[in-house]
């Protein structure tokens, strides 16, 4: 009998700790809805006591999402646990996740306690959480660097107080697969009390081993894995959900386990998270990178044409990457566009569809064929747009290798079209300066990423920016066959996020 592995997604909590990736409630709910379609078992929706915004977002997710367990994180203190319960209590399946350091360095240096009092603190916190919520998870933070006997004592104590899930985190990504697998085996052998609870793991990627460590733990009996879409998270990130799920699925006979994940939603989820959080996916990223299924060498292409299995262990369609028969061009009508959007899994509300259609025609006028990735990019930019204080109208650039680049931009605010121009040290810089002149506000560009969504000379360009405006970082995205226009649209998008927060 195959064991069931529960997939605990922490994109909205550990993933959201990435600098500049902070989301508002609407964005978090949108990702949570997609995670529900992906059929994750648990959504860790946030850390409710960290800010009023996070509390509101977790509450909204708890109200809107019906199937997965909705979990909130709390430190092992009453105030955090109360706020966490306030956030998750309306969920169909709520869970409180309490954590406390268990390694010497965490107990002595961070908590400034001795082990006995840290253990008491853990027990009291779990007892209190259990008085509010039937499902309580306890994480022994920094477990992989903890004294083994103390770790077992903590686990026994919190299970006695009612913890139903015990999570063993490799908080600093220090573990090596054999060692981490052995730790899970030893914990299971030494703590009989674990027979009645779910044993979970949570691995960070500081040594690039988060997925390998998680898989080693699954082999040794862990039955919940904590992970994030695209592997995003603190520092080098968390274990990537798509890699774990596809490894377990591709090598089922080896692991003898299964998950409930609807793998066909993987690609769409990856794109959505990348776009909303403004964190690009590296091209060679396993499963979801743009090159993950691209065969470029002649020998490989020959093999693929004869039998895909020669060089492909996963079919792109298994993770939701589709090839389509109908070619979309500027002559395609609304029906064809709607049909393709349906195939890609989008059911858009009327006004969003209208905006997508308008943008589709604008791009199709300048690009021969609109491929699925182009369309996904257009749709996601429209879906993740905040209410636009300023909308992009047009752009003119004068640039060359021996003239000073100049950009003239027109933006619309209400019924007014405002135009201004500026020079810069390059055309993108000139465009950004013109935008700032119109807005009467300056920003500090922290990150600028530009990539082609598809291949070929007429590929759609996708720009992502991260801009510090006053004391906060705002991200923006923009797409266009013209990369300066894509960049300008992304810059305006970032400022619109600022204006949406400062009404």
Instruction: Please give the residue ranges that form the binding site for ligand KIV (CB under 6 A).
Output: 14, 73, 99, 139, 141, 167, 169, 171, 202, 204
Cα 224 versus chain centre, distance:
19
Question: Which one-letter DSSP state was computed for residue 15?
Answer: G
CB of 150 to Zn ion, least distance (A): 20
User: Could you say which of ligand KIV, Zn ion, none residue 373 binds, taking C-beta under 5 to 8 angstroms by partner kind?
Assistant: none
Tokens for 375, please give them. Answer: 């369309």
**In terms of Cα–Cα distance, which of 176, 168, 170 is closest to 237?**
170
Containing H/E element for 164? Answer: none
| Residue span binding Zn ion (CB under 5 A) among the ranges 8-16, 101-109, 188-196, 365-373 | 8-16
The nearer residue to ligand KIV, 142 or 382, going by C-beta atoms, is 142
CB of residue 141 vs ligand KIV: minimum separation in angstroms?
Answer: 4
Q: Considering the complex, what minimum distance in angstroms separates the CB of residue 336 from ligand KIV?
A: 45
* 457: exposed, middle or buried (Cβ count in 10 Å: 0-12, 13-18, 19+): exposed
Q: How far is the CB of 164 from ligand KIV (least distance, A)?
A: 16
To ligand KIV, the closest distance from the beta carbon of 297 in angstroms equals: 40
477 CA to centre of own chain: 16
d(CA 421, CA 397): 10
Contact between 200 and 163 under an 8 Å Cβ cutoff? The reply is no
Q: Residue 213's binding partner, choosing from Zn ion, ligand KIV, none, with beta-carbon cut-off 5 to 8 A by kind? A: none
- Closer by beta carbon to ligand KIV, 200 or else 477: 200
Contact region with Zn ion (CB under 5 A), list: 11-19, 257-265, 365-373, 386-394: 11-19
14 lines the binding site for Zn ion (CB under 5 A)? yes
**Which lies closer to ligand KIV via its Cβ, residue 84 or residue 486?**
84
**Residue 14 vs 243, nearer CB to Zn ion:** 14
Rounded-to-integer distance, Cα 188 and Cα 406, Å: 66
CB of 101 to ligand KIV, least distance (A): 9
Q: How would you list the strands of the sheet with 416-423, edge to edge?
A: 391-398, 406-413, 416-423
Task: Tell me which residue of 12, 54, 55, 17 sits closest to 34, measured CA to CA.
Answer: 12
DSSP annotation string for 167-196: EEEETTS---HHHHHHHHHHHHHH-GGGGG
Is 25 exposed, middle or buried, given 0-12, 13-18 or 19+ CB atoms closer than 10 A?
Answer: middle
Residues in the interface with Zn ion (CB under 5 A) total: 1
Binding flags for Zn ion, 383-422, as an x/- string (CB under 5 A): ----------------------------------------
With CB under 5 to 8 Å by kind, the binding choice for 141 among ligand KIV, Zn ion, none is ligand KIV
Helix (H) or strand (E) holding 117: helix 115-132
Provide the β-strand partners of residue 202: 169, 226
Sheet containing strand 472-480, edge to edge, reads 444-452, 461-469, 472-480
Instruction: In whole angstroms, give the CA distance from residue 181 to residue 176.
Output: 9
Q: Which is nearer to Zn ion, 14 or 382 (CB)?
A: 14
461-470 burial, b if ≥16 CB within 10 A, otherwise e?
bbbbbbbbbe
**Closest approach of Cβ 221 to ligand KIV, in Å?**
19
143 vs 383 by CB, closer to Zn ion: 143
| Choices 9-17, 160-168, 253-261, 390-398 (CB under 5 A): range interacting with Zn ion | 9-17
Say which entry of ligand KIV, Zn ion, none residue 340 contacts (CB below 5 to 8 A, set by partner kind). none
Q: Which is nearer to ligand KIV, 126 or 376 (CB)?
A: 126
Give the CB-nearest residue to Zn ion.
14
Q: Which is nearer to ligand KIV, 138 or 360 (CB)?
A: 138
The H or E element spanning position 374 is: helix 372-383
Binding status of residue 16 toward Zn ion by CB under 5 A: no
- Distance of closest approach, residue 17 Cβ to Zn ion, in angstroms: 8
Q: Which of 184, 87, 167, 89 is nearest to 126 (CA)?
A: 167
Task: Find the part of the chain contacting Zn ion (CB under 5 A) among 6-14, 103-111, 208-216, 391-399.
Answer: 6-14
User: Cβ-count burial of 442 within 10 angstroms (0-12 exposed, 13-18 middle, 19+ buried)?
Assistant: middle
Please identify, using beta-carbon distances, which residue of 157 and 488 lies nearer to ligand KIV: 157
Shortest distance, CB of residue 464 to Zn ion, whole angstroms? 24
Report in angstroms how near the CB of residue 5 gets to ligand KIV at its nearest: 18
Q: Among candidates 126, 65, 64, 137, which has minimal Cα distance to 96?
A: 137
Which residue lies nearer to ligand KIV by CB, 204 or 271? 204
Q: What residue ranges bind Zn ion (CB under 5 A)?
A: 14
């Amino acid at each position: 009998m195959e064991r069931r592995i529960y997939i605990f997604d922490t994109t909205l909590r550990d993933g959201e700790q990435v600098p500049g990736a902070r989301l508002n409630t609407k964005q978090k709910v949108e990702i949570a809805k997609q995670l529900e379609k992906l059929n994750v078992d648990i959504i860790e929706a946030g850390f409710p006591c960290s800010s009023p915004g996070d509390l509101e977002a977790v509450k909204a997710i708890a109200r809107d999402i019906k199937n997965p367990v909705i979990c909130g994180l709390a430190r092992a203190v009453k105030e955090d646990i109360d706020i966490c319960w306030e956030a998750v209590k309306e969920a169909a399946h709520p869970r409180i996740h309490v954590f406390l350091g268990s390694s010497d360095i965490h107990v002595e240096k961070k908590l400034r306690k001795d082990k006995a009092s840290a253990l008491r603190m853990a027990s009291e916190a779990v007892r209190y959480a259990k008085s509010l919520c039937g499902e309580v998870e306890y994480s022994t933070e920094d477990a992989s660097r903890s004294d083994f006997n103390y770790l077992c004592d903590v686990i026994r104590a919190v299970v006695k107080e009612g913890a139903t899930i015990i999570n063993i985190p490799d908080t600093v990504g220090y573990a090596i697969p054999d060692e981490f697998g052995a730790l899970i085996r030893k914990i299971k052998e030494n703590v009989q009390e674990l027979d009645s609870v779910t044993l979970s793991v949570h691995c960070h990627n500081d040594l690039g081993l988060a997925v390998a460590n998680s898989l080693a733990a699954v082999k040794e009996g862990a039955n919940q894995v904590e992970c994030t879409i695209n592997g995003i998270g603190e520092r080098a990130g968390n274990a990537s959900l798509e890699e774990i799920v596809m490894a377990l699925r591709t090598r089922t006979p080896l692991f003898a386990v299964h998950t409930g994940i609807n793998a066909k939603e993987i690609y769409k989820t990856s794109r959505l998270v990348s776009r909303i959080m403004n964190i690009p996916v590296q091209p060679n990223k396993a499963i979801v990178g743009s090159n993950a299924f691209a065969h470029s060498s002649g020998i490989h292409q020959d093999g693929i044409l004869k039998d895909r299995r020669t060089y492909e262990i996963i079919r792109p369609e298994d993770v939701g990457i589709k090839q389509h028969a109908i070619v979309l061009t500027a002559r395609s009508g609304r029906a064809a566009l709607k049909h393709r959007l349906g195939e890609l899994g989008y059911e858009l509300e009327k006004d969003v569809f209208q905006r997508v259609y308008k943008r589709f025609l604008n791009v199709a006028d300048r690009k021969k064929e609109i491929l699925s990735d182009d369309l996904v990019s257009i749709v996601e930019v429209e879906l993740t747009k905040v209410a636009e204080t300023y909308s992009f109208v047009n752009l003119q650039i004068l640039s060359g290798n021996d003239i000073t680049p100049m950009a003239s931009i027109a933006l619309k605010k209400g019924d007014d079209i405002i135009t201004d121009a500026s020079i810069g040290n390059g055309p993108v810089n000139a465009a950004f300066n013109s935008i700032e002149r119109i807005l009467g506000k300056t920003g500090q560009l922290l990150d600028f990423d530009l990539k082609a969504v598809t291949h070929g000379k007429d590929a759609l360009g996708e720009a992502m920016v991260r801009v510090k405006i006053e004391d906060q970082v705002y991200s923006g995205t923009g797409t266009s066959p013209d990369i300066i226009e894509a960049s300008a649209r992304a810059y305006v998008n970032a400022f619109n996020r600022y204006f949406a927060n400062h009404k």
